[in-house]
């Protein structure tokens, strides 16, 4: 009897256990095999992690690999005011944060003294050094948020060329804008699951598309040359109380830009507080009547066509010539001058008469071949094309005015390109500012290749022009102040009156410029210096030529440019003594 009772108990317990296990198993089967869409979705949503992996923009570097723009990992300093107040640490935390973050203590205390808040930004975009100092203090209720921002370690240096990218990481000026698609890179994607502690489980990664980091852009510019140029422009602005100044240095044979500077400048790190006017890259975005520097193109065209030779003599009318009822003046009065001296002494009347030997149509053709009225295509946004009307729209006076650089507008880069074309035996090169683009793996995506835009004049004409332009910097030439010991310098001065908004020319405001190349016997670098509204000296020879010389003196040493051959200099000296070519 007792034995039977035991057996029944065991049987009942077993049955109960089987029933429980069966119930659990059934539920399990139903959960796994049944159609529990809501439940499945809820679990998946809780566990699933879908994360965009953001990458920073690529860097911008100068030709020697010096970084001029980069993304920098920073942190936002945040606080939990409720915790800080509950612990009674308001005074300590507030004073330390204000001191370390260099903030107004009253502002910090006002942000922390909010018992109902659990999150407050104290300061955004804080450098890691400062964050480490705050961390070491172990302030309760203070924490950090990862972020990044575009930084320009050189500040104002190269600002107009590099430009800036906005808070959304979109290039908004300069190389940042033009090369945006390459600099930006591509975000990655990661789909995975997380555990109960909300940590990602590596083994549950179902998709992992690696981000494609932005490419690095190497410029043709050299930060040291850029600094030399910018410093010289600063000095020129101070000395001549000028409104602005800009300069470009170009490698003659290839068209690579070595320096491009503008004054006034701005700090791209502070672009939000900068007026748009300061951001204008005047070297390519400001058109002006070039004045006498333009005579170079006109005389080169006439020599190339054979309508004149360097010895052809023109009457310069003692400084005043009435042409079609309107007077044309020279800065200094001259009588009869050969073409070589028209260029050396920069006679407007002489240049006008030379241009008339070409005629309107041929003159226009040559000017267009020199690149006037057409953007050069440099890798920078906002380049102006300049103004050159078709000859059908020219007035009867136009040919005489264009010859002296009026009724035509160019950018400094266009003017420099004309001069470098003459230095380069007639080949006009496409100016370039990007040397190469390298992806994150170190593979070169694009590399600079010299490109010929046009060849308006023959080699013999170009060589003749090189010799004629060297005379401009000799004694008696308008560009004598650009002369450099040991180097034969070729160039041309320009002093253009500014156009008044209502029409006519200003008697007080003008643009002084000097464009040239050196050494003239084996040209390597070309340069233009433009000074806007200098006072009281106003001519290109007095204002811009000395700046050219100052920059050139340092550039030839830095670039290790060989001095002019003694024979070349001697020939120039002999030519000087004889008063001829």
Partner 1 sequence: MGRRRNRKKESAGFIFPLPLAGVLGLAAAIALTYLWLCGRCETIGSQIKVLEDRKTELQKRVGSEEYKWASMKSPVHIERLLQQFNIHMIWPEKAQVVQVQAEDRVTPPVQVAANVRNSRRDNGMLMDD
Q: Which of 57, 58, 68, 180 binds partner 1 (CB under 8 A)?
A: 68
Q: Please, are residues 348 and 314 in contact by the beta-carbon 8 Å criterion? A: no
Pairing type for strands 200-201 and 142-151 reads unpaired
Using rule CB under 8 A, residue 70 touches partner 1:
yes
Q: Interior CA angle at 443 toward 437 and 447, to 5°?
A: 35
Q: Measured between alpha carbons, how far is residue 118 from residues 131, 138, 290, 501, 576 in Å?
A: 20, 18, 63, 58, 83
Asked if 223 is part of the footprint of partner 1 (rule: CB under 8 A), the reply reads yes
Listed residue (476, 466, 492, 485) closest to 545, CA to CA: 492
Site for partner 1 in 112-171 (CB under 8 A): 127-128, 151, 153-155, 157
Residue 287 near partner 1 by CB under 8 A: no
Q: Residue 91 or 205: which CB sits closer to partner 1? A: 205
Nearer of residues 129 and 277 to partner 1, judged by Cβ: 129
CB nearer to partner 1: pick between 69 and 342: 69
Q: Which residues contact 541 (CB under 8 A, 6 or more apart)?
A: 478, 479, 480, 481, 493, 495, 514
Phi then psi for residue 547, to 5 deg, are -65, -40
**9 is a site residue for partner 1 (CB under 8 A):** no
Q: Which is nearer to partner 1, 335 or 486 (CB)?
A: 486
Exposure string of 283-300, with b = 16+ CB inside 10 Å and e = fewer, is: bbbbbbbbbbbbbbbbbb
CB of 554 to partner 1, least distance (A): 6
Rounded to whole angstroms, the Cα distance separating 203 from 130 reads 37
Q: How many CB atoms lie within 10 A of CB 560?
A: 7
Residue 509 binding partner 1, by CB under 8 A: no
Least distance (Å) between residue 334 CB and partner 1: 35
Nearer residue to partner 1 within complex by CB, 50 or 485? 485
| Nearest approach, Cβ of residue 203 and partner 1 (Å) | 5
Distance in angstroms between the alpha carbons of the first and the last residue of the chain: 142
Considering only residues 309 through 328, tell me which ones interact with partner 1, judged by CB under 8 A: none
Could you say whether residue 557 binds partner 1 (CB under 8 A)?
A: yes
Shortest distance (Å) from residue 196 CB to partner 1: 14
Picking from 276, 275, 265, the residue whose alpha carbon sits closest to that of residue 237 is: 265
Candidate segments 7-15, 28-36, 60-68, 415-423, binder of partner 1 by CB under 8 A: 60-68
Contacting residue, 553, 569, 571, 581, with partner 1 by CB under 8 A: 553
In the complex with partner 1, the residue whose CB is nearer, 74 or 404, is 74
Judged by CB under 8 A, the stretch of 118-126, 161-169, 220-228, 333-341 that binds partner 1 is: 220-228
DSSP code at position 431: P
The string of DSSP letters for 20-50 reads HHHHHHHHHHHHHHS--HHHHHHHHHHHEEE
Using CB atoms within 10 Å of the CB of residue 5, give its burial: 0 to 12 exposed, 13 to 18 middle, 19+ buried.
Answer: exposed
Told to check if 253 binds partner 1 by CB under 8 A, we report: no
By beta-carbon proximity to partner 1, the closer residue of 80 and 439 is: 439
Whole-number Å distance between alpha carbons of 414 and 405: 13
Given the rule CB under 8 A, which of 3-11, 69-77, 166-174, 298-306 is the region that contacts partner 1?
69-77
By CB under 8 A, name the one of 63, 67, 101, 287 that touches partner 1. 67
Q: Which stretch binds partner 1 (CB under 8 A): 2-10, 161-169, 197-205, 390-398?
A: 197-205
Instruction: Count the residues of the shown chain that bind partner 1, applying the rule CB under 8 A.
Output: 30
Measure the CA angle with vertex 234, ends 228 and 235; round to 5°. Answer: 90
**From residue 477 to residue 496, what is the string marking binding to partner 1 with x (rule CB under 8 A)?**
--------xx----------
Check binding of 278 to partner 1 (CB under 8 A).
Answer: no
Residue 227 interacts with partner 1 (CB under 8 A): yes or no: yes
What is the nearest approach in angstroms of partner 1 to the Cβ of residue 138?
Answer: 20
Please identify, using beta-carbon distances, which residue of 157 and 343 lies nearer to partner 1: 157
Least distance to partner 1, CB of residue 34, Å: 27
The secondary structure of 295-315 as a DSSP string is HHHHHHHHHHHTS--TT-EEE
Non-local CB neighbours of 2 within 8 Å, separated by 6+ positions = none
Whether 175 and 219 have beta carbons less than 8 Å apart is answered as yes
Q: What does the alpha-carbon distance between residue 481 and residue 357 come to, in Å, rounded to a whole number?
A: 32
Residue 482 CA to residue 53 CA, distance in Å, equals 55
Q: Report the interface residues with partner 1, using CB under 8 A.
A: 56, 66-68, 70-73, 127-128, 151, 153-155, 157, 199-203, 223-224, 227, 485-486, 553-554, 557, 562-563
């Amino acid at each position: 009897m007792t034995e039977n009772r035991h057996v029944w108990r065991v049987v009942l317990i077993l049955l109960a256990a089987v029933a429980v296990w069966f119930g659990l198993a059934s539920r399990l089967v139903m959960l796994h095999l049944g159609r529990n869409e809501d439940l499945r979705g809820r679990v998946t949503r809780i566990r699933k992690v879908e994360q965009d992996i953001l990458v920073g923009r690529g860097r911008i570097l100068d030709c020697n690999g010096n970084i001029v723009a980069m993304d920098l990992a920073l942190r936002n300093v945040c606080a939990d005011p409720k915790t800080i107040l509950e612990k009674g640490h308001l005074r300590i935390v507030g004073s330390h944060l204000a001191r370390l973050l260099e903030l107004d203590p009253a502002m910090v205390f006002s942000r922390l003294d909010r018992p109902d808040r659990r999150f407050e930004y104290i300061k955004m975009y804080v450098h890691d050094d400062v964050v480490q100092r705050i961390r070491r203090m172990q302030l309760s209720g203070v924490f950090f948020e990862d972020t990044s921002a575009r930084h320009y370690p050189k500040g104002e240096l190269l600002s107009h060329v590099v430009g800036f990218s906005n808070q959304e990481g979109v290039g908004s000026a300069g190389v940042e804008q033009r090369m945006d698609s390459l600099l930006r890179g591509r975000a990655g994607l990661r789909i995975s699951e997380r555990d109960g502690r909300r940590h990602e489980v590596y083994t549950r990664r179902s998709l992992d598309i690696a981000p494609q980091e932005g490419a690095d852009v190497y410029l043709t510019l050299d930060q040291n040359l850029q600094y030399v140029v910018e410093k010289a422009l600063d000095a020129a602005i101070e000395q001549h109380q000028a409104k602005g100044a800009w300069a470009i240095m170009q490698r003659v044979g290839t068209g690579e830009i070595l320096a491009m500077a503008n004054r006034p400048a701005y700090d791209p790190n502070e672009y939000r507080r900068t007026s748009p006017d300061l951001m204008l890259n005047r070297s390519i975005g400001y058109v002006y009547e070039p004045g006498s520097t333009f005579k170079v193109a006109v005389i080169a065209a006439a020599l190339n066509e054979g309508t004149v030779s360097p010895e052809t003599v023109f009457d310069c009318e003692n400084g005043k010539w009435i042409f079609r009822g309107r007077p044309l003046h020279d800065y200094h009065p001259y009588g009869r001058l050969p073409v070589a001296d028209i260029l050396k002494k920069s006679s407007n009347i002489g240049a006008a008469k030379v241009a008339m030997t070409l005629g309107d149509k041929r003159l226009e053709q040559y000017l267009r071949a020199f690149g006037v009225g057409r953007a050069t295509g440099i890798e920078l946004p906002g380049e102006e094309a300049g103004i050159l009307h078709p000859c059908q729209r020219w007035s009867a006076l136009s040919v005489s005015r264009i010859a002296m650089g009026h009724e035509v507008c160019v950018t400094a880069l266009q003017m420099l390109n004309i001069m470098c074309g003459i230095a380069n035996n007639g080949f006009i090169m496409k100016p370039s500012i990007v040397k190469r683009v390298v992806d994150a793996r170190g593979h070169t995506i694009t590399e600079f290749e010299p490109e010929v835009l046009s060849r308006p004049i023959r080699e013999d004409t170009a060589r003749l022009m090189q010799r004629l332009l060297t005379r401009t910097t000799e004694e008696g030439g308008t560009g004598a102040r650009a002369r450099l010991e040991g180097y034969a310098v070729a160039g041309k001065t320009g002093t253009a009156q500014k156009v008044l908004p209502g029409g006519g020319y200003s008697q007080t405001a003008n643009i002084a410029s000097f464009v040239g190349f050196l050494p003239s016997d084996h040209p390597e670098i070309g340069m233009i210096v433009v000074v806007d509204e200098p006072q009281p000296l106003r001519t290109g020879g007095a204002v811009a030529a000395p700046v050219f010389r100052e920059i050139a003196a340092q550039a030839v040493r830095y670039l290790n440019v060989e001095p002019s051959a003694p024979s070349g200099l001697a020939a120039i000296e002999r030519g000087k003594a004889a008063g001829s070519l």
